[in-house]
Structure 1
Amino acid sequence: MKFDSNHWWLKLAGWLTQLHWKACRGGDQSLFITKPTFNKIGGYNENHTIYEDNDLIAKLYKLQQFTVIQKWLTTSARRYHANGVWKLQFHFTVIYIKKRFGASADDLFAYYKEHIC
């Protein structure tokens, strides 16, 4: 994935998406999942207003059925520009850590609404 920005951090963050690390997964990366696999993992958790893609990705990693396709797509950096690259990255990191330590979908959304929207 690439951002439509020349900011060095966003270039690095985009480059990191080619790695197979779960921490490099996230929004705007486009997921292609077969219907049988989608059904097998139980689909999206509809309790998630945000971060639903990471929940889905975690299920795919558990099945060992996640492959990074080595093709680039471009996504908008507008939220980074609106909020500030470092500030937004900090809040996305907090959300990631909160989820890792068991925060609920409602807690993640409340944090997102307070700090990002």
Structure 2
Amino acid sequence: MISIIIPAHNEFNNLQRLFKVACFLEHEKLIEIIIAVSPGNTDDIEYLDCSEKVKLLRCKQKGRAAQMNEASKIALGNIFVFLHADVVPPIGFIDDILNSLQNGFDAGFFSYKFDKDAWYLRINAAFTAKDGLFTGGGDQCLFIKREAFNQLGKFDEEQVLMEDFEFFRRMKKDNIPYTIVKNDLIVSARKYESNSYLRVNLSNFLLVVLFKFGYPGKKLKTLHNKLIRTPYNG
């Protein structure tokens, strides 16, 4: 059974949109959706119009890694799905996850496309269907067996940026079998709307390279917020 964990910081509008279109709310094999709300959240998240399966967790620490870890402690499922608030799942989302795990994988990710149709965004999205340098980003929606997640020691809460890539690095080191499901999520293009395509891509490339060379998470976050006009608030 599945627990979907969504870290949130002032994501009311995105969550409201998600719950209106999401295909998973009534799925019989879904136990719960946990909204892991940051302690600094200031929107009216308690007024979300959502299913009874949705639980709001007021987290003690801010940061995606800390919020997702805290939610995992109260989750009831034996499968965890870590979904960003501005990412919309496709039809067949839950069945794709269950089929992947039944086929021998302990974890996986999804390919995605952007909510704006532009040729340069289609190029970026095409890379998410293949295993490569940028595999493991949070927008690809990690799903993983609870046992494997706990075995890896959960997310590193000191990794305040790119906690998803750090976790994926440990997955590969421990030879956790994973797959990439080629059924596109819909991802927000808001970062590209506030910055140029070239600026975002060069910044992403620089951050990934620095991460792989061991640049500290807090310095990565500071650098990200200098390079990108849409600050990282996780």
After TM superposition, the score normalised by the length of structure 1 is 0.91
Q: Secondary structure, in 3 states, of the residue corresponding to 1:23?
A: coil
- Is the Cα contact below 8 Å between 1:3 and 1:75 reproduced in 2? yes
Tell me the equivalent position of 1:108: 220
Tell me the equivalent position of 2:162: 51
Residues 13-72 of structure 1 show CA distances to partners (whole Å, capped at 9, x for unaligned) of 111111122434323110101111111111101012221111111111223322111211
Tell me the equivalent position of 1:25: 136
Instruction: Give distance in 2, aligned partners of 1:23 and 1:45.
Output: 19
> How far is 1:7 from its partner?
2.1
Which consecutive aligned stretches of 4+ in structure 1 deviate over 6 angstroms post-superposition? none
The one of 144, 149, 153 equivalent to 1:38 is: 149
How is 1:84-99 mapped onto 2 (pairs within 5 angstroms)?
A: 84-99=196-211
The 1:25/1:46 distance shift into structure 2, 3 A limit, reads same
Q: Any unmatched runs of 5+ in structure 2?
A: 1-111
- Is the Cα contact below 8 Å between 1:95 and 1:108 reproduced in 2? yes
Q: Establish whether residue 8 from structure 1 lines up as the match of residue 119 from structure 2.
A: yes
Q: Give the structure with the higher percent helix.
A: 1
Instruction: Give distance in 1, aligned partners of 2:141 and 2:133.
Output: 14
The one of 57, 60, 76 equivalent to 2:188 is: 76
Q: Any unmatched runs of 5+ in structure 1?
A: none
Instruction: Give distance in 2, aligned partners of 1:57 and 1:9.
Output: 26
Structure with more contact order per residue of length (Cα contacts < 8 Å, sep ≥ 6): 1
Instruction: Give distance in 2, aligned partners of 1:51 and 1:10.
Output: 21
Instruction: Give distance in 2, aligned partners of 1:24 and 1:39.
Output: 21
Tell me the equivalent position of 2:173: 62
Rg: which structure is higher? Answer: 2
Q: Secondary structure, in 3 states, of the residue corresponding to 2:138?
A: coil
- Is the Cα contact below 8 Å between 1:17 and 1:25 reproduced in 2? no
Instruction: Give distance in 2, aligned partners of 1:69 and 1:8.
Output: 22
The 1:9/1:24 distance shift into structure 2, 3 A limit, reads farther
The 1:54/1:45 distance shift into structure 2, 3 A limit, reads same
Q: Give the partner amino acid of 2:171.
A: L
Count of residue pairs the alignment pairs up: 117
- Is the Cα contact below 8 Å between 1:5 and 1:11 reproduced in 2? no
Give aligned-pair identity as a percent: 26
Q: Give the structure with the higher percent strand.
A: 2
